[in-house]
Amino acid sequence: MRIKGFIVLLTSLSFFDGQSQEFLTKEEAVQIALEKNFNIKIAKNNIDIAEGNASKANLGFNPTVTATAGANYNLDNSTAIFQSGDETNLSFAASNSANTGVGVNYVLFDGFNRQYNLERNLQTLSASQLNARFALESVLLELFNAYYEVARIEVDYENLVEILAISKERLERAKVSYDYGVSTLLDISNAEVDVNTDSIAILDQQQLLTNARHNLNFVLNGNIVDNFAVETDVIFAPFLSKEALLEDLKLANVNLLLASSDIRLSQIDQKLTTTSRLPTVSLNGEYGFNRSQNNKASFLDRANSNGFTGGISLNWSVFDGGRRNVQEQNAKITSLNQQLNYDLTYQQILRDFENAWSDYQNRLVIWKALEQNVVTSKLNFERSEERYKLRQITNLEFREAQSNMINALTAQNRAKFTAKLSELQVYSVAGKIQEAVY
């Protein structure tokens, strides 16, 4: 009775699960990830920062204008002796002054420092865009790893439900046969044990499915309900050319492009080290107003003045103790290291591509072989089922055929999704994942 109650509960849960499910397509998953994933949002914000840094206004190309103002108030105790010999003693004599001014400064020439910094910041902006692309490609790969894991577990779950239905049918047949005196209580007991085993397997699979959905939700940064279904069909690329992918790899792989960007940045840094050898020429001007009111000890009671002051200044560091030479030497070494890093990155990417391609080809062969296993195991099970109905094989032999079929289905299902993920890895290393067939 407890087994029956357990099976009824499981059936009702499964029915409720199927009735309340929402459906998440691959296209919807990609759209949600692009809009909500944290890593993509951060990468976009970094692009905005780099765009601001690359503006001329941020690098001193425009003149600067400053306004100044000040006021002073004094109370003095003083003794004043004039040329005539007269003497005046003052206590708490008040005097005050005020001034205002507007100054303009414009750097005419700074040894090309601004131009090189602009060039550097534009290159940094390009690197930020590449990093955003890297984030996008990483999210897509992570997304489909999570998406296809949900799909794989869903298919396994459906297969287990079918196996449970077969076990239930076998249990009912054993009971009917027992009523007619054909089978024994042992047959019923064995069938009940198998139903219970299959039911527990379904519960375990449901938990795996729940966890996989949570993982997918995390990648999407979405508020999708826990109970959703995904597309379980897999479409493989009709034809992948290894030679074509290798040919495009050098211009498409984002890690290689970032390494190339680092080379250009180091070359600009070399130029920047030379700017301190040249003078800086600035143009400046100021318009000011001054007013003062003096105490009685002064010859002047009050004074007002205003006017314009302009000039040009030159600043040239003739000798800095040899620091420039060290900076230029280090910049050259850094540039050499970046070139070596590019060569190393290229070799690593070639290795990763060869490994990904070999793994993909191997996974396809395994998937095709396991597909044939499924056909064979299903045929064997159908024959065993007919023979079991005719009581030509034992419960154990029937269960073995049933287990062989579910094992073949599970292995083939896993191989199919693993092969698809291997294909996406090939696209990823080649820098073409955005062109992949999902």
pLDDT at 429: 96
Per-residue pLDDT tens over the stretch 358-399: 999 999 999 999 999 999 999 999 999 999 888 898 889 999
Distance CA 243, CA 191 (A): 56
Structure tokens at 46: 């970094």
pLDDT at 85: 66
Distance CA 145, CA 148 (A): 6
pLDDT at 2: 34
Contact (CB, 8 A) for 284 and 103: yes
- The pairing of strands 22-24 and 228-230 is parallel
Radius of gyration of the CA atoms of the chain, in A: 40
Closest-CA residue to 260 (of 330, 349, 344, 338): 338
Distance CA 290, CA 82 (A): 27
Average pLDDT of span 22-46? 91
Which string of DSSP letters, residue by residue, matches 46-102? HHHHHHHHTSGGGGT-S-EEEEEEEEEEEEEEEEEE-TTS-EEEEEEEEEEEEEEEE
DSSP state of 299: S
Per-residue pLDDT tens over the stretch 189-241: 999 999 999 999 999 999 999 999 999 999 998 766 667 899 999 999 988 89
Per-residue pLDDT tens over the stretch 288-308: 888 877 666 666 667 787 888
Per-residue pLDDT tens over the stretch 98-156: 889 899 999 998 889 999 999 999 999 999 999 999 999 999 999 999 999 999 999 99
pLDDT at 7: 37
Distance CA 317, CA 402 (A): 87
Which pLDDT band holds residue 272 (cuts at 50, 70, 90)? very high
Contact (CB, 8 A) for 327 and 318: no
**pLDDT over 50 (residue 12):** no
pLDDT at 148: 97
**pLDDT over 50 (residue 45):** yes
Averaged pLDDT of the chain: 88
Per-residue pLDDT tens over the stretch 56-95: 888 888 999 999 998 887 776 666 666 666 667 766 667 7
pLDDT at 20: 54
